[in-house]
Amino acid sequence: MIHASEMINGAEIAGIAQAAIERACAREARNGSSGVELHDVLAGVGAFLEKSTRVLTPANCRNYLEDLPQDVDVVRVEPAQRKVRNRYQYFNQVA
């Protein structure tokens, strides 16, 4: 199993931040509410997670799984569905 944390790098984090800024700018242009908010960042993270499930293929699994034995052929990659009770329990929100 590959975790999202194994597929992220500095460029991806910068992309998440850029997506959050773009959402905040669009919201400000629509209704005047300025500043990057938590839901902007979470939307960027969600977009990264969605994209990362499409990036991993049977052909490039060895790039992410260093300990995969050479005699194992990967024939299919499927995203695991996790049910999390409180998705954002570790975020501190300031009201």
Q: Which domain holds residue 18?
A: 1-95
| Percentage of the residues of the chain whose pLDDT score is greater than 90 | 25
Question: Quick check: 45 pLDDT over 80?
Answer: yes
Question: Quick check: 94 pLDDT over 70?
Answer: no
9 CA to centre of own chain: 11
- The mean pLDDT of 73-84, rounded to a whole number, is 76
Residue bearing the bigger pLDDT, 24 or 87: 24
Count of the separate structural domains present in the chain: 1
pLDDT of residue 85: 66
